[in-house]
Structure 1
Amino acid sequence: MTDHAVAARPSFAQALQLYLRPRPLAAFALGISSGFPLTLLLATMTFWLSRVGIDKTTIGFTIGLTTPYTLKFLWAPLVDRVPIPVLTRLVGQRRAWLFVVQALLVGALWQLGASAPEQGLAAFALWAIVVAFLSATQDIVIDAYRIELLSDAELPHGTAMNQFGYRTGNLLAGAGTIWLASAEGASVGWAVAYGLTSFLVLPAAVAALLAGPGRFVAREVSSAGRWLQDTVVSPFAEFFRRRGAVLILLFVLIYKLGDAMGQLMLNPMIVELGFSDIEYINANKFVGFWALIAGTALGAPFLAWLGMGRALLVSGVLMMASNLGFALLALSGHSPLGLGLAVGVENLTSGIGLTVFVTYLSGLSNLAYTATQFALLSSFAAVGRTWISTPSGYAAEALGWPGFYLLTTLVAVPGLVLLLVLWRRGFVVETARQVDAVETEAAPLDGEAAAAATAIRPR
């Protein structure tokens, strides 16, 4: 990073003020609606299945139901270029897609909650796949809209606020939904609990109405061939022309693999160790959530203090080490204090790591192809969570819980090694947040300090 860029960094007070700007606040609301469906398909779902007696090997493979998250780059070009009749003209491309997908998602979540997996997994699996498809599509829209809405100077803080929102959605869909369904809580049952949680789509809808259309790039299409070129070919071609593109995708694939494996099997372990629903909820509500808030708040300062390369390395080491806390919990057995400590450390390190990682991915997305390129990057990240980690149930069965969490710690090492390889080879992937010379739906956002863009460059 240049001396000029260092000199141009904002003071700590100025950095905090960036969190409270309208667009970072909008990113917070977008994060709530983006974060809750995946939690219902992962953490809450695995807890639900464990409670109704589904074995952990089967639970491990139910993660495959979230496959649409790994394939969303295939239909992301349509989200970038295909207008919604009438609605696109009224509210813009991003918001039109958002409102339609959210309406469908609410209906699908009610059906998923009513699917009764203890009576058979067929209907449950069908609606889980439908929810995953609609949720992945909502993520395509929200990720693109967020990147287009935030200026370069606001991107790290807007990303942190988005992660605040994302984890708030996680909490509400995790501890909140379990409390609604649990006999120790509201006792409304899983169907109503999932249905009520579906209304967490509303924060993003309201924020989008208030924030405007963002900097969506509108392109004139002269022919079908030109449409295919602009929609499908150009976004991928532009990315793969960059130095180190293949290595970057491999890094994205494996960077959080150990963390993903650990999270997948956490709820089955908690149930097996004899923790009650209320003990689980309290650990998340009183310890995990606030640790996560603290970690997410540290994400943007991490980038300012360390630069992207060092921030990725340090946060990766911290996330890897946090899995050892669950190995210790497995050894100590039913210990509410041990559960609180393990959950707190994991959420603190995860909050830092996710903010850094998502800012990194956001900075690689060209504003001309935002939805497609961010979907490509986040799809590769989801492959590790969805498919590479599916044998976690077998590993937990074979190794026991302490051995399994030691394994997840070791699995994180290759991602850190690859990061060092990228760094050693000198791959500096410059921010691609330029806008091509085309008209946009809204006027460009007012200028910010150009040096702030260096905050989203790997070093």
Structure 2
Amino acid sequence: MMPSENRSLDLRGWTSVLLLGFASGLPLFLTGSTLKAWMTQEGLDLKTIGLFSMVTLPYSLKVLWAPLLDRYALPVLGRRRSWMLVMQGAMAVGLAAMALHPPHQDLLLMAALAVGVAVASATFDIATDAWRAERLPQKLLGLGNSVHITTYRVAMLVSGGGALILAQFMGWRSTYLTMAGLTVAGMGGTLLAANTDVVARAPRTLAAAVVEPLRDLLNRPGILELGAFAVLYKLGDWLAEAMTMPFLLRGVGFTLAEVGTVQKTTAMAAIIVGGLLGGLILTKVSLRKALFAFGLLQAGSILGFWTISRLGPSLPLLVGANALENLAYGMGGSAFAVLLMSSCNRAYTGTQYALFTGLMALPRTLFAGGTGWMAERLGWSSYFLVCVAAALPGLLLLLRYEHWGPPEETSGDRS
């Protein structure tokens, strides 16, 4: 069942989108680059740090349990919100447990806890993405996704740069306990969210929840190219992001406070501007043109870190590189989310969107596991050039967009 196209979003609805975007973005760095910064400070080698990228594998595998969320509801709050609330509680508990068990004490336990947080976070994303697809009217899909991605990225900056600053002055235990507290506070977004059970009915059986979404996708022309684009569009970004923190801290020698301050100020402003600018542009130009322009910007933003690797530590360069990277992320992420959500059948939103975003996260997990080895073998300058080259295949697929993409219209008019 499709939501009414004239259904508006009131203040409570926009507040929910904002808070849920923040809650969704908070855990990613806490099991990713921030955790790697903690491990770097404790003297763990680059290969071990690189392998820890594998703890985010649940973000790629979440499609395996997404049908459960499409089919079943927990006892309270409805199908989407009940899963969201329980997973937020699980994330808070997991982050608190990570705070109490530093990596040097028991690396395997830390890996298990990080995986647990990632599973809860990925499950929360399934429910949140489905809720957004069901709650947002079509005419607000671009802007709504831009707002979500903007607050998602702000949360990443809080759990990235903000966490580094806290760690510098309070230590890692207090930092992770603070992040667990913010996760609890994020439950407000779930409690404010409207129940969308009347918008999209649950599949009648679990078998239908598994089979029908896949059958719907496999019957579409160009589905293999759409899947390839989902994997490749942000490949360069993921590879660069996987080793950015070790590069800045160990490769160049910036302090935690320097990196954290830049991320918390300039980068936060850039991601807000990028997300909102991306949403505005999506109402004016076709989705294909936006994806291509924003993809070029994403690839170009990696050259900022390449420049630092060539010229050495410089705070102005760090500010510029982080600002450009976050501006590109906000704009590219907005267009990419509209593409994926527009490619979903709203009868199977949870499973299909989980499949698409799982494919998107696949290179971040599988390819990023060898990034530490690549950086050691190639050196930082060559490594970032490889990341730029990795961004190009996804852009080339846009030359065949008419064979696999949604109709060539501006997102505001797309039906």
Residues 243 and 429 in structure 1, CA contact (< 8 A), matched pair in contact too? no
Identify the match of residue 385 of structure 2 among 406, 414, 422. Answer: 406
The two structures have a TM-score, normalised by structure 2, of: 0.93
Equivalent residue number for residue 75 of structure 1: 65
Which of 241, 244, 267 is the equivalent residue of 2:245?
267
| Alignment deviations for residues 371-414 of structure 1 (CA, whole Å, 9 cap, x no partner) | 11110000000101100232111111111111111110111111
Amino acid at match of 1:403: S
1:219/1:343 Cα in 2 relative to 1: closer, same or farther (>3 Å)?
closer
Alignment of 1:139-288 (within 5 A): 139-182=125-168, 185=169, 187=170, 189-202=171-184, 204-214=186-196, 216-219=199-202, 221=204, 227-272=205-250, 273-288=252-267
Aligned ranges 1:20-419 → 2 under 5 Å: 21-84=11-74, 86-87=75-76, 91-182=77-168, 185=169, 187=170, 189-202=171-184, 204-214=186-196, 216-219=199-202, 221=204, 227-272=205-250, 273-419=252-398
In structure 2, relative to structure 1, the CA distance for the partners of 1:365 and 1:393 (3 Å cut) is same
Paired with 2:304 and 2:281, the residues of 1 have a C-alpha distance of 23
CA distance in 1, matches of 2:105, 2:183: 29
Q: C-alpha distance in 2, partners of 1:179/1:216?
A: 43
**1:199 Cα shift?**
2.7
Deviations 1:346-392 (A, max 9, x none): 11111111111112111122221111111000000010110023211
Instruction: Give the match's secondary structure for 1:306.
Output: coil
Q: Which amino acid counterpart does residue 78 of structure 1 have in structure 2?
A: L
The question of whether the paired residues in 2 share the 8 Å contact of 1:181 and 1:190 is answered with yes
Q: Between Structure 1 and Structure 2, how many residues are aligned?
A: 406
SS at match of 2:201: coil
Q: Report matched runs for 1:440-451 at 5 Å.
A: none
Q: Secondary structure at the match of 2:138?
A: coil
Distance change >3 Å, CA 338–CA 384, structure 1 → 2? same
How big is the shift at 1:127? 0.5
TM-fit CA distance, 1:301:
2.0
TM-superposed CA distance for 1:51, in Å, is 1.2
Q: Offset of 1:20 from its aligned partner? A: 7.9
Residue 281 of structure 1 aligns to a residue whose secondary structure is: helix
The answer to whether the 8 Å contact 2:67/2:206 transfers is no
CA distance in 2 between counterparts of 1:315 and 1:456 reads: 19
Q: Report the aligned-residue RMSD.
A: 2.0
The secondary structure found in structure 2 opposite 1:305 is coil
Asked which structure has the greater CA Rg, the reply is 1
Task: Give structure 1 stretches of 5+ with no counterpart.
Answer: 1-17, 222-226, 432-450
- Find the counterpart in structure 1 of residue 406 from structure 2: 429
Which amino acid in 2 is paired with 1:24?
W
2:286 match: secondary structure: helix
2: CA distance between counterparts of 1:136 and 1:79? 12
Q: Corresponding residue for 2:5?
A: none
Could you tell me the TM-score, scaled by structure 1's length?
0.84
For 1:37 and 1:137, the matched residues in 2 are separated by 12
